[in-house]
Amino acid sequence: MNLVNNILKSQSSMEVLRRSFSISPRLLTEKSLTIREAITQAMDEEISRDERVFLIGEEVAQYDGAYKMSKGLWKKHGDKRIVDTPITEMGFAGLATGAAMAGLRPICEFMTFNFSMQAIDHVINSAAKAYYMSAGKVKVPIVFRGPNGAAAGVGAQHSQDYSSWYSQCPGLKVIAPYSAEDCRGLLKAAIRDDDPVVFLENELLYGLHFPLSDEASSTDFVLPIGKGKIEREGKHITLVGYSIGVKICMEAAKELEQSGIQCEVVNLRSLRPLDEDIIKNSVKKTHYLLTVEFGWSQCSIGSEVITRICESDAFDYLDGPPIRVTGADVPLAYAKTLEQNSMPQVANVVKSIKKILNK
């Protein structure tokens, strides 16, 4: 009798709890993580796991990282594993690549990918092509990572999106993660990968929280490079995005839900190799395609996605022309309104979807 009373009492208190705080049991156990934490953790775990892994770049050690991406790592792992460099991108990217050729596994951080242009000869000619040119004698297990694309108000020279540049080059693997789970799993996979990887983060996402499943918290959690994810299922149109592009796709999808339009959002996760199949399967279901990214339109990732769909049997499933949402075709201005209108907004996505669907 007491037991039954206890159960009834606890059930009713749960009811009270639920009504007052609107907390569902699932959320109580689910963790959340910022992108920043996800990346720091991934690096920490891989550095602890394999003594050949080390982090090298400007301000990564004693400053905890220009964007605090390596917070606490130098204190924990020391000078040997977390290496501060002078401001010499070409030199340290080359040095890191040489160290990789000689069997270490460097994580080479570019403070932003804009500065990687100074070092791009090493990323492409020294790293990407070495395995092929040497007929397999020279492996380059390096990860080049850092923030890519626009920040806020940093001006044209500090805002470029290099997705197209790097993803064009065979020999590289190019990853552009979106969520905390993406960052954890894909950065760990990148560090464990024997090929050179370019890991394109986004500064505007660094502080955002994302839920993290238990599985994704495991130290051996890796995601496959070259496979995308359906972030949201839908049947009316396929939205393909990567990195911060996924964010506005999700926001547009939420907004259009109210109009009865259900968008399927494909998060590419990797740009090279590109997960063609996930896009094709989605297009075959929805019959419409819109690509969304923050980089410039000419030779964009969206151009590649649309061309691949048109070249495949998925073309026959299209009921309307596939189009793109991209950054405006200008160097990025500083003034707030100009900057905002040079970057794609939810409104651009919503407008494009309505046009395609004739709604």
Q: Which residues bind other proteins (CB under 8 A)?
A: 54, 80, 85-86, 88, 90-104, 121-122, 125-126, 131-139, 170-171, 173, 193-195, 224-227, 273, 311
The string of DSSP codes covering 174-189 is EE---SHHHHHHHHHH
The string of DSSP codes covering 281-328 is HHHHHH--EEEEEEEESTT-HHHHHHHHHHHSGGGGG-SS--EEEEE-
Q: Which amino acid is at 3?
A: L
> Cβ closer to other proteins: 91 or 320?
91
CB of 13 to other proteins, least distance (A): 50
Beta bridge partners of 106: 54
Kindly name the residue from 37, 89, 181, 339 that is annotated as catalytic. 89
Q: Is 266 helix (H, G, I), strand (E, B) or coil?
A: strand
Beta bridge partners of 200: 146
CB of 136 to other proteins, least distance (A): 5
State the Cα–Cα distance between residues 25 and 20, nearest whole angstrom: 14
45 is catalytic: no
Among 282, 286, 259, smallest CA distance to 359 is for 259
The string of DSSP codes covering 218-256 is STT----TT--EEEE--SSEEEEE-THHHHHHHHHHHHH
State the Cα–Cα distance between residues 210 and 180, nearest whole angstrom: 6
CB of 47 to other proteins, least distance (A): 13
Any residues with CB less than 8 A from the CB of 306 and at least 6 apart, and which?
289, 291, 322, 323, 324
209 is catalytic: no
Q: Which amino acid is at 311?
A: E
Length of the chain: 359
Active site residues per annotation: 89, 158
